[in-house]
């Protein structure tokens, strides 16, 4: 029997107890700011309207969102921005479980890989790997992209996992594959497809770990890259389009590698972005990926 949420999957496999999951989810929720604070900080509702909402809550004994809806102050755009902000600050469930001693990092990494692999359909299909959007089904494990102001100091064991999984061998495979595609306009379609598939599998593996550990800037690059590859592999693309996609993915993967190296050296992503050139380079790669995603969708 498959389960939708990663935490439930761990309980079902007997890796953690249901009590561990409940306590970890309570800790995850308790560390999130209240909705009213997010709405106020993002200036989604004016101070005057906020006071209307608080009065409504007192009078009707209703929650914040219901009161906003009753007054006509809530809409889909506000909902989207609030959920995005919550994702930015939500501590990954895996990190909480490891910090609490409910399981070790190696077991967590193995179980995440097993959880993601259960969504595989056919080994030879472009959809054989679960997309990053699939992991978003698990709210405990899903991670959206934060601003560069956020700072997480990673434990040595987590740094070792990143260093081992996102290693130079995988980087070389990606570089060779994407370099071949972007430099060879007359390559056979079957060869190009296989190289893109190999790249997708590596990117997916690395992204699974970075999402779980909350390495959000690397994960943003890799998630966009995954989405591009899934769409691109379904289309009948010209050699020129193959080259264009490979070129953008190559630069973005190198950007992720650069952040990875800073992370290993400094135990945090934030220091990497104190350098203006790094911040600018990251945003340029994200913009390229988002533009490419719009083209292949």
Tell me, what's the pLDDT at 208? 82
What's the pTM? 0.58
Cα–Cα distance measured from residue 85 to residue 19, given in angstroms and rounded to the nearest whole number: 28
More confident residue, 119 or 124: 119
Q: What is the pLDDT of residues 228-277, one digit of tens each?
A: 999 999 888 888 899 999 999 999 999 999 999 988 887 677 778 888 88
138-155 burial, b for 16+ CB within 10 Å, e for fewer?
bbbbbbbbbebebebebe
Tell me, what's the pLDDT at 135? 38
Q: Give the start-to-end residue ranges of the domains of the chain.
A: 6-89, 147-296
Cα atoms in the 13 Å half-sphere on the side-chain side of 115: 30
For tokens 């995850």, the residue is 28
Q: Are 39 and 82 in contact (CB under 8 A)?
A: yes
Average pLDDT for 174-192? 81
* SS3 category, 204: helix
Cα–Cα distance measured from residue 293 to residue 289, given in angstroms and rounded to the nearest whole number: 6
Which of the four pLDDT bands, split at 50, 70 and 90, describes residue 137?
very low
For tokens 């107890």, the residue is 17
Average pLDDT for 199-212? 85
């Amino acid at each position: 029997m498959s389960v939708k949420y990663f935490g439930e999957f761990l309980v079902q496999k007997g890796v953690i107890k249901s009590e561990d999951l409940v306590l970890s989810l309570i800790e995850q929720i308790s560390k999130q700011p209240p909705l009213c604070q997010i709405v106020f900080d993002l200036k989604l509702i004016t101070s005057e309207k906020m006071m209307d909402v608080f009065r409504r809550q007192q009078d009707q004994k209703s929650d914040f969102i219901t009161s906003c809806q009753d007054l006509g102050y809530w809409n889909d755009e506000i909902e989207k921005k609030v959920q995005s902000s919550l994702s930015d600050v939500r501590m990954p469930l895996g990190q909480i479980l490891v910090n609490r001693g409910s399981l070790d990092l190696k077991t967590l990494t193995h179980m995440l890989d097993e959880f993601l692999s259960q969504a595989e359909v056919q080994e030879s299909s472009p959809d054989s790997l679960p997309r990053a959007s699939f992991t978003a089904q698990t709210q405990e494990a899903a991670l959206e992209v934060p601003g560069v102001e956020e700072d997480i100091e990673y434990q040595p064991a987590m740094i070792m996992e990143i260093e081992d999984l996102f290693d130079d061998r995988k980087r070389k495979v990606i570089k060779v594959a994407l370099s071949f595609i972007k430099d060879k306009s007359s390559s056979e379609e079957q060869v190009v497809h296989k190289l893109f598939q190999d790249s997708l599998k590596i990117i997916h593996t690395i992204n699974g770990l970075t999402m779980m550990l909350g390495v959000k800037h690397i994960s943003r690059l890799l998630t966009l890259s995954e989405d591009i590859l899934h769409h691109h592999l379904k289309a009948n693309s010209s050699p020129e389009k193959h080259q264009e996609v490979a070129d953008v993915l190559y630069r973005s993967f190198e950007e992720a590698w650069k952040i990875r190296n800073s992370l290993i050296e400094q135990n945090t992503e934030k220091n990497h972005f104190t350098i203006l050139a790094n911040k600018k380079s990251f945003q340029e790669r994200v913009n390229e990926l988002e533009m490419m995603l719009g083209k292949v969708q």
